[in-house]
Structure 1
Amino acid sequence: MRILSFSDLHRDRQAARAILRASADADVVVGAGDFASKGIGAAETLEILADCAAPVLVVHGNHDVPSEIAAFCEASARLTYLHGSGVDLDGVSFFGLGGEVPGRKGHAWNVAHSEVEASLMLADCPERAVLVTHTPPLGTADVQTGGAHEGSRAIRDAILASNAPLCLCGHVHASWGVQGQLGRALVRNLGPGLTWFDI
């Protein structure tokens, strides 16, 4: 299976169109959240991604309104919204969790979940599923500009418990393009460019 992945478009239509063009060579497209900016404009990029040649799996980011993402995906033939839920495609399991974990930003638009909430939502993650999360796992691909780790313990624990082969994430812009190993999993903080994986 060939996976085309990205995160943090933040209303960037040009980046969305590049993903649309590249989707002809993908078996699945994965978007790890933040289609909007400060709660505004998710549809600007999702409308473009809805025309992708391959199925598109998405989680919400901390800038997105989860109900809007869910409603848009429900109305689309191509987009599937994952949050505490999963899907199987051609024998490969995918499981998703959106938002910032744990909450670190006090803005009214920021969508966050506690570590306890995240643990409960990740409890049903199947063995060896590809994890799609907006927040990185704590300690891997999660270093902010000042050097602090801003990942999630719950996501880290779920990766290890499920023997995930791959975790696709974003959120921490200072770590875009950074990858590392956590248990069996390759963890990649994606960013808005085109990132490919073969599994």
Structure 2
Amino acid sequence: MKLVLLSDIHSRFPRSDELESELKTADAVLISGDITGFGSYDEGEAIIKHIKKFCKSVFAVGGNCDTFEIARMIENLDVSVHGQAGNAGGLCVTGVSGVERGRMPLNFYDILENSIASEKNCRKLAVISHEPAFGTDRCGRSSSRKGNRNIREFAEKYQPVLAVSGHVHEAWGSQKIGKTVYINPGAWLERRFATVMLDNNLEFSGAEFHS
């Protein structure tokens, strides 16, 4: 299985020969937030629809620079996995949105756990969040960017094959802890994205970072 990972688009339209070539051969696209820079519904919709022209299987969450309009847009386009799970060939994809950060009745751990409670047909799990998990290399160097403890706690318990994040533009790369590969594809704002390959057992077999 081939996945394209995008994050921190920040309204920069996702158009390049390299990206579109990778999208055409992808089994799914995972978008980890900041689709826009506080942009409109229509702006976000144009971005998602362009991506879906090349790959129909898209899973996304919003980021802290997205608005409630963007959260509504990805729900309406049926690509949101905030608090719910989608399935791509046996890979169960769930996530938490950065749009609602600090305004939700449940913490991120509860949202993620509830989202997979009824899933029966998933061979492996992937988690998308805008914030990185606490205590990983994907958190960056700033003391104010320590990552989210709920996401790390969930990953430690459920051991997803991937924990995809964004938010910290300079912290692109991957790190394996236990059975989970924590990965930040980099910011599309800076023309970065990543491709990930999973083997026939949906285990991580490699990543390539594009810029």
Common fold, TM-score beyond 0.5?
yes
- Answering whether residue 188 of structure 2 is matched by residue 186 of structure 1, we say no
The answer to whether the 8 Å contact 1:165/1:185 transfers is yes
The answer to whether the 8 Å contact 1:29/1:55 transfers is yes
* Distance in 2 of aligned mates of 1:62 and 1:68: 11
1:152 corresponding residue in structure 2: 148
Change (3 A) 1:145 1:44: farther
Percent identity over the alignment is 21
* Distance in 2 of aligned mates of 1:6 and 1:50: 13
Question: Which segment is superposed worse, 126-135 or 139-148?
Answer: 139-148
1:102 corresponding residue in structure 2: none
Please tell me the residue identity of whatever aligns with 2:15.
Answer: R
Gapped runs of 5+ residues in structure 2? 117-121, 199-211
2:101 corresponding residue in structure 1: 112
- Answering whether residue 87 of structure 2 is matched by residue 88 of structure 1, we say yes
* Distance in 1 of aligned mates of 2:138 and 2:23: 27
Give the TM-score normalised by the residue count of structure 2.
0.76
The 5 Å alignment of 1:1-199 reads: 1-13=1-13, 16-18=14-16, 19-40=19-40, 41-74=43-76, 76=77, 80-99=79-98, 111-113=100-102, 117-126=107-116, 128-175=124-171, 177-191=172-186, 192=188, 193-199=192-198
* Distance in 2 of aligned mates of 1:165 and 1:188: 11
Deviations 1:85-128 (A, max 9, x none): 111121111111110xxxxxxxxxx7523795212201235484
Superposed CA RMSD: 2.4
Please tell me the residue identity of whatever aligns with 1:159.
Answer: A
* Distance in 1 of aligned mates of 2:89 and 2:45: 28
Give the TM-score normalised by the residue count of structure 1.
0.80
Gapped runs of 5+ residues in structure 1? 100-109
Q: After the TM superposition, which parts of structure 1 deviate over 6 Å for at least 4 consecutive aligned residues?
A: none
